[in-house]
Amino acid sequence: MSSVHDEVVTSSQPWLHEHGTEIQEFGTVRLFPLGLSRDTRMYSCQRLNRVLADAQMLHALYKKHHWLMRGPTFYQLHLLLDKHAGEQLALIDTVAERVQTLGGVAVGDPRHAAEITQVPRPPDGVEKVPAMLSRLLEAHEIILNDAHDAAKRTAELGDDGTNDVLVSNVIRTGELQAWFLAEHLVDTPLVHT
């Protein structure tokens, strides 16, 4: 004899307008068997989420400036900024997954990221090209300063995985991208007459 609960109801109708309750709050960590204390994982998640929010803003700046680029180096900078945006997107995913690996909650909503970022908001309009590039460099410097400090502190706490993500991904990618941008701000003629 089967009951109503034993029957599986199948339907091709999507479940629309579903809203659930929050099952883990931002700023908390779940217990995972990672060989790291709760306090270490909490600290690492806090630092990574700050870097993550800043990297999301940097990615958005790269896309904005990619679209709004002007002038004789338009094509080269348009392509470079899009390439850097793609690299930032991959970095964002790596950092977010590290937060999740530690049992935390990665900052994923851009409105939330905007609340905790240290990267200043740019004007809504178009700036001159050197100003756009300088703004990107300033965002990189904010992230790099934070990442260097976070890498040192997470290493001291024994969180080698977070240290590796910060050094191998955030710092190395950021330094290389900053170098490429800075070279575009050197005032040298394209051709000598």
Binned average pLDDT, 10 residues per bin, the chain of 193 residues = 61 88 94 96 98 98 96 94 98 98 97 97 96 97 98 98 98 98 85 66
What pTM, to 2 d.p., does this model score? 0.90
Q: What is the dihedral of CA 9, 10, 12, 14, to 10 degrees?
A: 50
Q: What is the pLDDT of residue 88?
A: 98
Let me know how long the chain is.
193
* pLDDT (0 to 100) of residue 48: 98
Cα separation, 55 vs 50, whole angstroms: 9
pLDDT at 6: 57
Residue 174's Cα: distance from chain center in Å? 11
Residue where the block lists tokens 């599986």: 8
Residue 15: predicted pLDDT: 87
How far apart, in whole angstroms, are the C-alpha atoms of residue 120 and residue 134?
Answer: 12
Look up residue 47 and give its amino acid. R
Q: Please identify which residue in the block is written with the tokens 């410097």.
A: 141
The per-residue pLDDT for 7 is 65
CB under 8 Å to 34, separation ≥6 — which residues?
A: 41, 101, 102, 103
Angstrom distance (rounded) from CA 11 to CA 159 = 47
pLDDT of residue 115: 97
17 residue type, one letter: H
Domains annotated for the chain, with CATH where assigned, are 38-184 (1.20.1260.10)
Q: Rounded to the nearest 10 degrees, what angle do helices 38-68 and 129-156 cross at?
A: 170
